[in-house]
């Protein structure tokens, strides 16, 4: 439905009429449904909505081209719900809230384009909740990025879930294609798991994050027409202030089929190391392809090694090939567990997670568990209490406006190298600030109130609460 709204809005906004006005006029007349098909010339066919003057809007050609051969049939009663959740921004509005896309608001860059932080409220548009946002700007070269932008609008415009990032709005103006999301305070899982901020992400926090991501995938797969995410990886798992996880970047997501023998694709897309073998070799794409990708990330969580590490020897370069044979052997399993956890994890939880990863990474798609089964397997692991006692050190990412002030330094705690960088007693001074002053690293101990309030661990001096 959102794809239709994007198209309809771009056609009629040029004439000063809002989408809401048009729908309110059409809804009583049309018998509850709209049928829209985009013919080969890239121009829309929708009775009563298209005129010859609209055909002269040449700046819409690229957008309309991506709708080729797409047929959408939807109940108009769902339109108003979608319109309440998605706002249409002008380029100037987004330029204003990001301070001209300034380097001070720059958050990072991905395959889609650059991401900037901004702030919106109802002074910008009526009904907007006052909140920080992330504005993602599409790279203007090439057509693939535009198709990915459109896929995100269509999917996130219709689907809402606690573990999917919330799409607040979009901009489609001339050559500008932008998306506006809720801002996720703690960035993505990749930066935390592979220690960009220092220290080891605690075991139960890893489980909590993966459980949330699993619930997001399970929701997508349970849709009436399943959605295949197709790009499940740590950098696409965003984290809130309490380390709740949400899936982001739906540019490669596609409608799926529950029948394994019906969904084939000639173009294999995704990230090296995460794609299922049947998808790579034969273009066979199903929800089980996402399950395999989940297994890879689960394996990364266990080992703190990336899916592909090209600097390693040929034998250890691909994580799945190296680690999967050891997941079923209790004697070898401990050898591959992230050493920076220092044994502070549930041994029963590790065993269950390893067994789950082994099943998810099966070469036979039919042998893999559904995401519903994955969720049911992960949930009890959070309750396992056989974790070693003792404080656990984690260096968290914090903003200048919310600095950690009760940092403690303990002689009896073995610290990692990164900890010494911010600990005056061990280093002789505080490390100079990074050029990007928006975020800093601070050492927090598990036996402090601050650590528990951050939601980074359930560990305490006396065990697990």
Domains of the chain: 2-83 (no CATH), 87-182 (3.30.200.20), 189-383 (1.10.510.10), 393-464 (no CATH)
The angle formed by the CA atoms of residues 260, 283 and 316, to the nearest 5 degrees, is 110
- pLDDT at residue 389, rounded to an integer: 63
What are the Cα distances from residue 261, in Å, to 223, 372, 384? 19, 21, 40
- Kindly state the percentage of the chain with pLDDT values over 90: 40
Tens digit of pLDDT for each residue in 81-105?
Answer: 455 568 889 999 999 999 999 999 9
Question: Would you say 136 is a known binding-site residue?
Answer: yes
- Check residue 243 and report its DSSP letter: -
In the predicted model, residues of the chain with pLDDT beneath 50 are 1-2, 11-79, 81, 258-261, 399-465
Torsion angle of the four alpha carbons 408, 413, 418, 424, in this order, in degrees rounded to the nearest 10: 40
- pLDDT at residue 83, rounded to an integer: 56
| Distance from C-alpha of 380 to C-alpha of 362, rounded to nearest angstrom | 23
Largest CA distance in the chain: 78
Q: How far is CA 155 from the centre of its chain?
A: 13
- pLDDT at residue 143, rounded to an integer: 59
- pLDDT at residue 60, rounded to an integer: 45
- Residue 16: which region, alpha, beta or left (left: phi > 0; alpha: psi -120 to 50)? left
Residue 25 designated active-site: no
Task: Work out the mean pLDDT of the chain and round it to a whole number.
Answer: 73
| Distance from C-alpha of 380 to C-alpha of 181, rounded to nearest angstrom | 32
The structure's pTM equals 0.72
- pLDDT at residue 413, rounded to an integer: 36
256-264 contact pairs (CB < 8 A, 24+) = 256/221, 256/225, 256/226, 256/227, 256/228, 256/285, 256/286, 256/287, 257/226, 257/286, 258/226, 258/287, 260/284, 260/286, 260/288, 260/365, 260/366, 263/228
Tens digit of pLDDT for each residue in 111-125?
Answer: 778 999 999 998 888
- pLDDT at residue 309, rounded to an integer: 83
- Catalytic residue, from 122, 175, 191, 231: name it: 231
- pLDDT at residue 88, rounded to an integer: 86
- pLDDT at residue 295, rounded to an integer: 98
Query: Do residues 179 and 170 lie in contact, with contact meaning Cβ atoms separated by under 8 Å?
Result: yes
């Amino acid at each position: 439905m959102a794809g239709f709204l994007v198209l309809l809005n771009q056609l009629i906004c040029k004439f000063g009429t809002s989408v809401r006005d048009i729908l309110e006029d059409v809804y009583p007349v049309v018998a509850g449904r709209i049928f829209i098909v985009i013919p080969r010339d890239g121009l829309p066919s929708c009775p009563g909505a298209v005129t010859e003057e609209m055909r002269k809007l040449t700046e819409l050609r690229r957008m309309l081209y991506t709708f080729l051969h797409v047929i959408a049939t939807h109940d108009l009663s769902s339109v108003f719900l979608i319109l309440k959740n998605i706002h249409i921004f002008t380029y100037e509005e987004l330029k204003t809230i990001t301070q001209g896309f300034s380097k001070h608001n720059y958050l990072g860059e991905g395959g889609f384009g650059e991401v900037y932080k901004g702030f919106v409220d109802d002074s910008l548009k009526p009904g907007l909740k006052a909140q920080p946002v992330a504005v993602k700007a599409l790279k203007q070269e090439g057509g693939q990025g535009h198709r990915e932008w459109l896929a995100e609008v269509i999917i996130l415009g219709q689907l809402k879930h606690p573990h999917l990032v919330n799409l607040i709005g979009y901009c489609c103006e001339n050559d500008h294609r932008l998306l506006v999301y809720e801002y996720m305070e703690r960035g993505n899982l990749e930066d935390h798991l592979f220690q960009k901020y220092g220290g080891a992400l605690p075991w139960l926090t890893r489980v909590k994050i993966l459980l949330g991501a699993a619930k997001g995938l399970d929701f997508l797969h349970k849709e009436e027409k399943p959605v295949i995410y197709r790009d499940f990886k740590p950098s696409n798992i965003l984290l809130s202030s309490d380390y709740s996880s949400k899936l982001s970047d739906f540019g490669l997501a596609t409608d799926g089929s529950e029948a394994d023998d019906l969904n084939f694709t000639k173009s294999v897309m995704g990230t090296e190391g995460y794609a299922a073998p049947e998808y790579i070799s034969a273009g066979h794409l199903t929800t089980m392809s996402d399950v395999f990708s989940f297994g890879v990330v689960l394996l990364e969580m266990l080992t703190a090694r990336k899916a592909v590490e090209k600097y390693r020897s040929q034998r250890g370069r691909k994580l799945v090939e190296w680690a999967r044979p050891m997941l079923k052997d209790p004697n070898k399993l401990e050898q591959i567990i992230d050493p920076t956890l220092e044994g502070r994890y549930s041994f029963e939880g590790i065993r269950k997670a390893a067994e789950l990863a082994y099943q998810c990474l099966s070469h036979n798609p039919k042998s893999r568990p559904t995401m519903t089964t994955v969720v049911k397997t992960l949930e009890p692991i959070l309750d396992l209490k056989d974790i070693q006692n003792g404080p656990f050190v984690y260096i968290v990412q914090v903003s200048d406006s919310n600095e950690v002030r009760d940092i403690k330094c303990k002689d009896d705690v073995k610290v990692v190298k990164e900890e010494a960088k911010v600990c005056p007693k061990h280093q002789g001074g505080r490390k100079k600030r990074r050029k990007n002053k928006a975020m800093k690293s601070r050492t927090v101990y598990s036996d402090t109130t601050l650590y528990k309030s951050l939601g980074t661990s359930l560990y305490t001096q006396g065990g697990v609460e």
